[in-house]
């Protein structure tokens, strides 16, 4: 599976969260980081080239700071100019990585924003519907600047999983992601974690077999 | 009441609907037509001047073709650069005039778009909430190109009312708008309409008095 991350941020060098995400990218030829403002701040968007890039990937991630509850202007321009209402993106996946300055609790009815993220992101869901793409669960990052080191580490792991796992939200896929990342470890603690995961998995598999047999 | 129409359309000269709306504007000093791409296609947005314009008006209308279920890029840029999260717009009104190519029936659960306009425009409602503005009912224009002459005339009237009436959705305000626009008519048919409106109003007033007395 090939993943394209279409990043939009007008001042990305000054964004701690975007720099952290960029550094978090696994060393993986199947992931393309594509920052729009670096390419197209001064020149016109190369529509044909962008469409070829989309065609060459399976999972399309739009990653941006949630300015006024939607994408920055450059990403909107890209959507307006590049997307066609044909079936060229049919069956591909569309995901959103939203960097949000305020707290998760603000995004609900009665909260400060008064709308939840499922509602506010409906225009992107409608795009996916129109283009026959599969819309992924949202990947919101709330208040990055208040995160401590362990929260950031957790974010890094979830982010890598969101980019690379075909079924990123299943327990089995997450286990396998950990096992493959732990394959070569010689760290005693991590080796214990690995043993624990393998034990858990065989317990779960036994349970599953038992339930199927009933 | 002063009304600012912030229009965004990258090719407004080729847009039949936008040209029709522009020609429909009443000759009224209290209405400002403000097309962003004419001003800011090549030069930077003058943020301070735009904020002064907002300060000088009471009703702010964002008028645009509904590209991918939201505003064109230039309007998003304007929102991102001009709006401040302070109380400078508190108490003003925010309205949306949406020009939409497809049919009204597509905008519902189970319809082709699968979302209704109240949901898709939630980011603008959240902006109004954040800035303590009053969000007006939407003014969507579906399939302008299929409208016949009488439908366009009806559109013109509703549009003028949306721009100018403080309580544009009440029967009484609409009546008064008609009466003031018919004040100088000498057309026999229109004079009859005027009489009918006045008769209706006195019947309604009597009914209201009667119900209050009960």
Two structure tokens written together for A182? 């732990």
How many contacts does A have with B, using Cβ atoms within 8 A?
A: 77
Reported as a single tens digit per residue, the pLDDT across B121-179 is 999 999 999 999 999 999 999 999 999 999 999 999 999 999 999 888 888 888 888 88
Reported as a single tens digit per residue, the pLDDT across A27-52 is 889 999 999 999 999 899 999 999 99
With an 8 Å Cβ cutoff, are A70 and B125 in contact?
no
**ipTM of this model?**
0.89
Predicted pLDDT of residue B210: 85
Predicted pLDDT of residue A26: 82
Candidates B8, B40, B47, B70, partner chain A, best to mutate (most A CBs within 10 A): B70
Nearest-neighbour CA in chain A from B73: distance (Å): 5
Residue found under tokens 């047999």: A213
Reported as a single tens digit per residue, the pLDDT across B42-54 is 899 999 999 999 9
Reported as a single tens digit per residue, the pLDDT across A135-185 is 999 999 999 999 999 999 999 999 999 999 988 888 888 888 888 888 777
SS (H, E, C) A89-132: CCCCEEEEEEEECCCHHHCCCCCCCCCCHHHHCHHHHHHHHHCC
Predicted pLDDT of residue B4: 98
Average pLDDT, chain A: 93
Chain A positions with Cβ closer than 8 Å to B:
67-74, 76-77, 79-80, 83, 112-115, 119-120, 122-123, 125-127, 129-130
Nearest alpha carbon to residue B76 among B129, B36, B38: B36
In contact, B162 and B139? CB cutoff 8 Å = yes
Predicted pLDDT of residue A197: 83
Residues 6 or more apart in contact with residue B185 via CB below 8 angstroms = B191, B194
Average pLDDT, integer, range A86-112: 97
Average pLDDT, integer, range A72-88: 97
What number of helices (H) and strands (E) belong to chain A?
9, 6
d(CA B158, CA B137): 12
With an 8 Å Cβ cutoff, are A76 and B80 in contact?
no
pLDDT higher at B27 or B82: B82
A14, A24, A127, A145, A165 from A152: Cα distances, Å: 18, 10, 31, 10, 19
Residues 6 or more apart in contact with residue B33 via CB below 8 angstroms = B5, B7, B22, B25
- Phi, psi at A88, each rounded to 5°: -65, -20
Residue found under tokens 């009224």: B28
Whether A190 shows a pLDDT value over 90: the answer reads no
Predicted pLDDT of residue B204: 85
With an 8 Å Cβ cutoff, are A68 and B74 in contact?
no
């Amino acid at each position: 599976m090939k993943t394209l991350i279409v990043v939009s941020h007008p001042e990305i060098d000054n964004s701690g969260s975007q720099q952290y995400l960029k550094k978090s990218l696994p060393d993986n030829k199947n992931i393309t980081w594509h920052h729009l403002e670096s390419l197209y701040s001064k020149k016109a968007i190369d529509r044909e080239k962008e469409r070829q890039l989309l065609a060459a990937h399976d999972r399309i991630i739009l990653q941006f700071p949630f300015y006024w509850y939607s994408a920055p202007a450059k990403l909107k321009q890209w959507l307006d100019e590049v997307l066609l209402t044909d079936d060229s993106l049919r069956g591909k996946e569309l995901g959103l990585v939203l960097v949000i300055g305020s707290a998760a609790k603000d995004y609900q009815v009665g909260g400060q924003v008064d709308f939840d993220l499922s509602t506010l992101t409906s225009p992107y869901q409608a795009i996916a519907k129109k283009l026959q793409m599969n819309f992924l669960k949202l990947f919101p990052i709330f208040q990055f600047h208040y995160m401590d080191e362990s929260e950031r580490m957790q974010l890094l792991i979830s982010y890598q999983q969101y980019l690379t796992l075909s079924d990123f939200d299943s327990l089995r896929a997450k286990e396998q992601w950990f096992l493959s990342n732990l394959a070569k470890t010689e760290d005693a603690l991590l080796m214990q974690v690995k043993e624990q995961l393998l034990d858990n998995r065989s317990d779960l598999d036994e349970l599953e077999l038992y339930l199927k047999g009933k």
